[in-house]
Structure 1
């Protein structure tokens, strides 16, 4: 009986590459010349700091673009609402959503059941196991999960026949 897991995880290597590329682009940008601005990664929390709030937002946009180039879905980003002002710099923290939270998993199971596909979905920790008799049904669940707007990107592993 075919089965698969629906997960939400970030490729840590690509995240580090996106941070490195963003800081490289930051050093070559004309509008940031002579400004105190940086993008740093510590324990998979990205800290963006600049001299004012507008520049912080620009750095977030640069970082989001680099994530897209590295095939990391920017929808996994959780950016602070307000920049923290300390001294002469503003800083924003960017966290990434890893794992599927219980309430989002329940909404996803509800969507799958409402689609009337002949599959079973079970929550297993921070992932979702979907089993069914046909591969086509599992592929329809993949399409449904990708099109759902639950504020989190999903990946699919352990696709077995």
Structure 2
């Protein structure tokens, strides 16, 4: 009986960890002396984080705080897609930070091509916004995971359903 092993390459993040990171960011903004009186709001939506503050300087400080809190919670910084800074009413600025989820089709094709070029005995297929990789040997799957971690893709990659 020849069994095959497989895993999925996905780009996802832990929603609860993101909620915690945003909550910690809001708490730090309320307690920091330089940000306390800026009337800054940070709202987490389903697909984006909306930031409304009084200047671009404080917006940069909020980015730094958010990135620090996300990194401490093992969230990749590649999930944040910063939109352009817009001016809001009352000389304030706002920005939408989109949350990236799923592997785009062209990146999935790059991953698929890399696997097929370097690992001849392995099958890989694109399934929606993930890539399924299967092989007869677990060792080859481990090598693929190591190889993909060496590459720098514009999305955060996770390896799930390892069987």
**TM-score in terms of structure 2 length:** 0.92
Aligned to 1:28: 31
Determine helix, strand or coil for the equivalent of 1:6. Answer: strand
SS in 2 for 1:128: strand
How many residue pairs were aligned?
159
After superposing on structure 2, the runs of 4+ consecutive aligned residues of structure 1 that deviate more than 3 Å are: none
Structure 2: unaligned runs, 5 residues or longer: none
The alignment partner of 1:72 has SS state of coil
SS at match of 1:30: coil
Q: How does 1:7-86 map to 2 (within 5 A)?
A: 7-80=10-83, 82-86=84-88
Q: Deviation at 1:33? A: 2.5
Q: CA deviation at 1:117?
A: 5.0
Q: Counterpart in 1 of 2:100?
A: 97
**Does the alignment pair 1:129 with 2:159?**
no
Aligned residue in 2 for 1:5: 8
Q: Distance in 2 between matches of 1:33 and 1:25?
A: 9
Give the Cα–Cα distance (whole angstroms) in 1 for the partners of residues 6 and 147 of structure 2: 16
RMSD in angstroms over aligned alpha carbons?
Answer: 1.2
Cα deviations across residues 77-97 of structure 1 (Å, max 9, x unaligned)? 1111x2110112101111111
Work out the CA distance in 1 between the residues paired with 2:86 and 2:9.
35
Residues 1:110 and 2:113 are matched in the alignment: yes
Q: Counterpart of 1:98 in 2: which secondary structure? A: coil
1:148 aligns with 2:151: yes
Unmatched 5+ stretches in structure 1 = none
What TM-score results when the alignment is normalised by the length of structure 1? 0.93
Q: Deviations over 1:91-138 (max 9, x none)?
A: 111111111111010011112123235311100111100001111111
CA shift for structure 1 position 13: 0.7
